[in-house]
Amino acid sequence: MDPYKHRPSSAYNTPFWTTNAGAPVWNNKSSMTVGSRGPVLLEDYQLIEKLANFTRERIPERVVHSRGASAKGFFEVTHDISNLTCADFLRAPGVRTPVIVRFSTVIHERGSPETLRDPRGFAVKFYTREGNFDLVGNNFPVFFIRDAMEFPDSIHAMKPNPKTNIQEYWRMLDYFSHHPESLLTMSFFFDDEGIPQDYRHMNGSGVHAYSLISKTGKQHLIKWHWRPTCGMKNLLEEEAIRVGGTCHSHATKDLYDSIAAGNFPEWKLFIQVMDVDHEDRFDFDPLDTTTTWPEDLFPLQPVGRLVLDKNIDNFFAENEMLAFDVGHIVPGIWYSDDKMLQTRIFAYADTQRHRIGPNYKMLPVNAPKCAYHNNHHDGYMNFMHRDEEVNYFPSRLDPVRTAEKSPIPPRVLAGKRERVVIEKENNFKPAGDRYRSWAPDRQERFVCRWVNALGDPRVTHEIRNIWIAYWSQADRSLGQKLATRLNVRPTM
């Protein structure tokens, strides 16, 4: 049989999408949820297959966030939020928790220059007395898509061309021309913030809505925000070329040198708080990762400070083997029904088990610093010495019992199985508002970057028109500027 005749790729054999088993896929954009909002169902085999295949595409480098730098320090509570959460590490001002933080670029490979235009990862592992809490986010407060079903495709579009291994903007512009919800994130990506000066002068955000649970079980939706005390600074194109040509690891070096010199980087942690009963009162969906919560409605409330005062001892042991898991929460903190967050709870642990191994949490950098006990025995690279005879639960011969119940959101879930886009789309206004808030010179740099990107000869007339139409809906003058410089008549 001709080995290429029935090639196992979505680009061959059928005019429609299928699973790896050949079953037809009628919706390749939306996760299966309880109702239109979620949560996401584990029975969504198509989603899990898509994500599981995606997270196993490359070894041993991370598929995303492969280029990174880490440092250690502490988080100190500065403001009392015990009315919002019963989390032990947030119990009172003055409480300190050891942390390790990993900064990263998202798209580019492990050896790439740190001056390339790209979102930046900002991940914090809190070693609390109740277990590890991993707050995994970016320097942008929003993401390109709102459903993880589309995550592998979005990353493929931003990664290098599989034929040439060259990263090309036309691929990204083609893919996201189908996703007007990406506009606000694009306003960050092509803005000055697309190339931070270094990791010390960079914002951070949890991106997703999380839940804080009080001792009485009261739930609030919140968003996490990190702000550097030394201010935010970025590199313009000419500076990035100069800096990157001098040292392709400039941000890693800056972080290491600053800590070694006693100039400890510091960030303030803020939260935005929303009553869970009020989430339907707004013209946007609070669980949509492609939009922000307006700060005039949900002001930033201070929580604490993050200080990095110790460099890592070994890059491989404490950066490459450092593994974050969005599923790591502690009592007093819970997830939300955000479709992206719900799926990351599965995907992060899954990719770490593939990349490092099933016992990656035994590694010192990933292991909790509090006592822990379970019956997860054996497996590849299990180096824990155990001599007990009872490895099952429950047992009358083993005094270990379950912990005290901690509060979780009590909301009753009801809805039919469906794959749908969220109802309240807010694709254009936030991006336009952000553009109008900039000084004229910043607007001009943004326009020039888009003209260069859309001027690529591989960008078709159709795709160019779509982006001009999108930006015209965000801000009419911006759309007109793009159309004029690209010699295209704007259509809306």
Helix (H) or strand (E) holding 127: strand 120-128
Is pLDDT at 157 greater than 50 in this prediction?
Answer: yes
Token reading at 253: 């070096």
The stretch 38-53 carries a mean pLDDT of 86
Is pLDDT at 454 greater than 60 in this prediction?
Answer: yes
168, 453 Cβ separation under 8 angstroms: no
Find the catalytic residue in 65, 108, 179, 225: 65
Please provide the DSSP assignment of 147-182 as one string: -GGGHHHHHHHHSPPTTT----HHHHHHHHTT-GGG
pLDDT of residue 58: 62
Segments making up each domain of the chain, as ranges: 1-57, 68-175+193-362, 428-486
Percentage of the chain with pLDDT > 70? 95
The stretch 35-43 carries a mean pLDDT of 88
What is the C-alpha separation between 69 and 91, in angstroms, rounded?
Answer: 30
The residues that bridge with 72 in the sheet, in sequence order, are 100, 310
274, 298 Cβ separation under 8 angstroms: yes
pLDDT tens digits, residue range 176-193? 999 999 999 999 999 999
Across all residues in the chain, what is the average pLDDT? 91
What is the C-alpha separation between 354 and 53, in angstroms, rounded?
Answer: 11
Is pLDDT at 3 greater than 50 in this prediction?
Answer: no
What is the C-alpha separation between 88 and 100, in angstroms, rounded?
Answer: 18
Helix (H, G, I), strand (E, B) or coil at 187: helix
Is pLDDT at 6 greater than 80 in this prediction?
Answer: no
More confident residue, 231 or 61: 231
Helix (H, G, I), strand (E, B) or coil at 51: helix
pLDDT of residue 2: 46
Give the architecture (CATH level 2) of 68-175+193-362. Beta Barrel (2.40)
pLDDT tens digits, residue range 345-383? 999 999 999 999 888 888 999 989 888 777 777 888 888
pLDDT tens digits, residue range 211-227? 999 999 999 999 999 99
Find the catalytic residue in 108, 132, 138, 426: 138
Q: For the structural domain made of 1-57, what CATH number should be given?
A: 4.10.91.20
pLDDT tens digits, residue range 276-292? 999 999 999 999 999 99
Question: Can 1-57 and 68-175+193-362 be said to share one CATH topology?
Answer: no
Is pLDDT at 1 greater than 50 in this prediction?
Answer: no
What is the C-alpha separation between 153 and 407, in angstroms, rounded?
Answer: 37
Residues 6+ apart with CB under 8 A from 320: none
The residues that bridge with 105 in the sheet, in sequence order, are 67, 120
* 138 in active site: yes
pLDDT of residue 14: 64
Mark 410-430 as b/e (b = at least 16 C-beta within 10 Å).
Answer: eeeeeeeeebeebeeebbbbb
Kindly report the pTM of this predicted structure. Answer: 0.90
Q: At 245, which amino acid appears?
A: G
- For tokens 């100039």, name the residue: 263
pLDDT of residue 26: 82
Is pLDDT at 249 greater than 90 in this prediction?
Answer: yes
Is pLDDT at 333 greater than 60 in this prediction?
Answer: yes
Q: Is 348 annotated as a binding residue?
A: yes
